């Protein structure tokens, strides 16, 4: 018997979709989830480290527009004085707090007991002649499904290619932290170790805040290609800005953005207020662009948008600024090509693309998003069409084939839709996607 609804993924996107399905009175016994981790945790929230904080204030962590203050009310029980930002930007709770909140919401609907959960990874999806989808799992199972939703989130960075063959496995295990978003390994770093942090995004800043709070005394070298860190969240306010023109090109898209962004420092509340107002419109404006214009903008300015979009918690930037002012933390504008075995008193040597090699004791790999094998397989087998570095998806979240037709009963939500649909990274935006898809499934 085919499974009526199969969700591939077990992180935030999958969990919030389950909540919206339950709230639309879908029979949750008809839902199967493929994934081995606790529901709703994922890379973003699957840590219990007290110093890994949400980079968004509490009132913006909305999973249901009908209950916009639900997390704010729930979080009061955390009694976390450190959640209050010193720049007046609001409350920034622990990442693990949001995972616990999601668990509480899932339990409200008794979801985990009702669904079927298969602890495996999907490695391929093929179509049967009878309008069903066959899903091949890494445990050699093949299951068929009527409706399939890809909610796979952001894949972790591929670290194997960065580690030189001359590094023994025991040295790598002791001195290379390849999954820093979990948080646990940071607390085992010796207090005087020279830490080389590869990457300058939110995970790197989480690690720096944890080191600061742990009283780390050793040198920290943070390497990121352009030497720029995300700005901190500020005490921004809602404001109204006109929408994008109906017909817009890449240059017109940029003109619209520049017209309403003030000339002030991007760390100032006025600048972020305008940026947040524009961000709400970006998905609509993005979908009015031609595909060549989307590709052009992503290639030229994708890195800058990531910095603007992924603002850091004020707590992490405060820690980084303090360590920089004392000379403990240094930022190097360069890429790390390889982590090799050290030739001095330090066990590791970081080979940079431009500057001299950097010896260090611990390497923290926080180098962004990796490669999704399932998406690559769907592209290879002509199930998914491509757009820039991602896949093609329509407004109804249907996966689009290379010939342009939508794949019937095969949907995608969350980060994999970014190339096609614009800014869909934040928790609230993904929740809105989940609500829209749940409406469609409830109507079938």
Q: Is the pTM of this model over 0.85?
A: yes
Contacts of 76 (CB under 8 A, 6+ apart): none
Please state whether 29 falls in left (phi above 0), alpha (psi between -120 and 50) or beta: alpha
pLDDT digits (tens, 9 = 90+) for 241-294: 999 999 999 999 999 999 999 998 999 999 999 999 998 888 889 989 998 999
Task: Quote the CA–CA distance of 62 and 426 in Å, as a whole number.
Answer: 10
Tell how far CA 265 is from the center of its chain.
26
Task: Quote the CA–CA distance of 311 and 230 in Å, as a whole number.
Answer: 5
Strands 31-34 vs 3-8: parallel, antiparallel or unpaired:
parallel
CB-based burial label for 242 (10 Å; 0-12, 13-18, 19+): exposed
Task: Quote the CA–CA distance of 94 and 387 in Å, as a whole number.
Answer: 35
Q: Indicate the DSSP class of residue 124.
A: E
Structure tokens at 298: 């992503």
Per-residue pLDDT of the chain in tens (444 residues, 90 and over written 9): 899 999 999 999 999 999 999 999 999 999 999 999 999 998 899 999 999 999 999 999 999 999 999 999 999 999 999 999 999 999 999 999 999 999 999 999 999 999 999 999 999 999 987 789 999 999 999 999 999 999 999 888 888 889 999 999 999 999 999 999 999 999 999 999 999 999 999 999 999 999 999 999 999 999 999 999 999 999 999 999 999 999 999 999 999 999 999 998 999 999 999 999 998 888 889 989 998 999 899 888 888 888 888 899 999 999 999 999 999 999 999 999 999 999 778 999 999 999 999 999 999 999 877 889 999 999 999 999 998 888 999 999 999 999 999 999 999 999 999 888 988 778 999 999 999 999 999 998
Task: Quote the CA–CA distance of 317 and 118 in Å, as a whole number.
Answer: 40
Cβ(191)–Cβ(219) below 8 Å: no
Tell how far CA 403 is from the center of its chain.
29
Q: Which domains does the chain have, with CATH numbers?
A: 3-155+370-443 (3.50.50.60), 160-231+311-365 (3.50.50.60), 250-309 (no CATH)
Q: Indicate the DSSP class of residue 401.
A: P
């Amino acid at each position: 018997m085919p499974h009526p609804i199969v969700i591939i993924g077990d992180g935030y996107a999958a969990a919030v979709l389950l909540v919206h399905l339950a709230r639309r009175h879908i029979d949750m016994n008809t839902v199967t989830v493929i994934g081995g981790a606790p529901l709703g945790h994922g890379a973003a929230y699957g840590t219990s480290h007290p110093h890994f904080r949400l980079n968004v204030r509490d009132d913006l962590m909305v999973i249901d527009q009908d209950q916009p203050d639900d997390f704010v009310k729930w979080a009061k029980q955390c009694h976390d004085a450190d959640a209050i930002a010193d720049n007046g930007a609001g409350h920034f709770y622990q990442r693990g707090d949001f995972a616990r909140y999601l668990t509480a919401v899932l339990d409200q609907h008794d979801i985990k007991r009702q669904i079927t959960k298969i602890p495996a990874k999907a490695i391929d999806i093929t179509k049967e002649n009878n309008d069903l989808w066959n899903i091949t799992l890494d445990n050699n199972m093949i299951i068929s499904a009527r409706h399939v939703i890809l909610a796979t989130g952001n894949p972790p960075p591929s670290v194997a290619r960065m580690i030189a063959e001359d590094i023994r496995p025991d040295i790598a295990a002791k001195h290379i932290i390849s999954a820093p978003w979990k948080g646990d390994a940071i607390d085992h770093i010796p207090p005087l170790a020279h830490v080389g942090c590869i990457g300058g995004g939110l995970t790197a800043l989480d690690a720096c805040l944890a080191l600061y709070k742990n009283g780390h005394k050793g040198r920290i070298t943070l390497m990121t290609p352009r030497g720029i860190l995300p700005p901190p969240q500020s005490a921004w306010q809602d404001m109204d800005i006109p929408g994008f023109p109906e017909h817009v090109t890449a240059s017109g898209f940029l003109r619209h953005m520049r017209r309403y962004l003030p000339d002030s420092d991007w760390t100032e509340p006025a600048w972020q207020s305008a940026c947040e107002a524009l961000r709400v419109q970006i998905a609509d404006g993005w979908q009015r662009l031609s595909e060549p214009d989307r590709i052009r903008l992503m290639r030229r300015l994708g890195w800058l948008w990531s910095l603007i979009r992924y603002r850091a918690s004020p707590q992490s930037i405060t820690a980084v600024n303090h360590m920089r002012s004392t000379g403990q933390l240094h930022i190097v504008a360069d890429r790390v090509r390889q982590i090799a075995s050290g030739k001095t008193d330090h066990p590791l040597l970081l080979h940079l693309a431009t500057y001299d090699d950097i010896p260090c004791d611990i390497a923290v790999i926080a180098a962004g998003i990796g490669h999704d094998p399932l998406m690559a397989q769907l592209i290879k087998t002509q199930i998914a069409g491509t757009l820039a570095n991602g896949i093609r998806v329509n407004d109804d979240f249907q996966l689009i084939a290379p010939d342009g037709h939508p794949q019937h009963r095969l949907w995608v939500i969350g980060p994999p839709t970014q190339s096609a649909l614009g800014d869909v990274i934040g928790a609230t935006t993904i929740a809105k996607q989940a609500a829209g898809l749940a409406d469609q499934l409830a109507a079938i």
